[in-house]
Amino acid sequence: MSRLARKPIILPKGVEIKSAPDGKINVKGPKGTLEIQVSTGLTVQTEGELVNVNFDETVNKKKAEHGLYWALIKNAIVGVSTGFEKKLTLIGVGYRAAVAGTKLDLQLGYSHPTAIEIPSTIQVTVEKGTAVSIKGSDRHEVGQFAAAVRAMRPPEPYKGKGVRYENEFVRKKEGKASKGK
């Protein structure tokens, strides 16, 4: 059983939680609305500014899901109140990015064009051509889109070229030793 899930979640101002009888939790805030389908056997109770996630102790499987759904609800609350952001950096000669309508156009040294469709719930900005900022209220969508962009050209270990997360460290390899010694 999760120790964190025993603690209540504190609701920030401007965030509302409504639970439906079919197990759906609606979280509404200034940055948008998110919906979470909670598994049966788990209940979400709001008491003023506190949200408690409780489970039915007769069902053994629900102990394992207790912490998961607590974290999903907490991420939804943070997402609709402050939002989530991932920053990527393009490192390499001629590597650049640009937002063209609903697509993120990436120049990553390939001979073919590389463009990724930006989901409607995510905002993407490009600064100085090489710094990509991805913002949104759903943590999963922001992380998945950032991973998809990074997967277009992951950093390679010899020169360090590629798409990296902002504070990612890439250990460089030495390369081939000089011949004839």
Question: Residues 148-151: contacts with CB within 8 Å, 24+ apart?
Answer: 148/116, 149/88, 149/104, 149/106, 149/116, 150/88
Measured between its terminal Cα atoms, the distance across the chain in Å is 60
Q: What is the DSSP string of 34-49?
A: EEEEPPTTEEEEEETT
Asked whether residue 148 is assigned to any structural domain, the reply reads yes
Domain boundaries, position 39: 4-81
Boundary (domain end) residue, out of 64, 81, 98: 81
Do 56 and 109 reside in the same domain of the chain? no
Asked whether residue 181 is assigned to any structural domain, the reply reads no
Do 51 and 102 reside in the same domain of the chain? no
pTM for this model (two decimals):
0.84
Do 55 and 99 reside in the same domain of the chain? no
Residue 134 main-chain phi, psi, to 5 deg: -115, 120
Asked whether residue 180 is assigned to any structural domain, the reply reads no
Distance CA 98, CA 114 (A): 11
Distance CA 121, CA 110 (A): 28
Do 94 and 126 reside in the same domain of the chain? yes
Do 112 and 151 reside in the same domain of the chain? yes
Q: What is the pLDDT along the chain (181 residues), one digit of tens a residue?
A: 578 878 888 898 888 898 888 888 899 999 889 998 888 778 888 888 888 888 777 766 667 788 888 899 999 999 999 999 999 999 888 889 999 889 999 988 888 888 999 999 999 999 998 899 999 999 999 999 999 999 998 988 888 898 999 888 888 888 777 665 5
Q: Containing H/E element for 87? A: strand 84-91
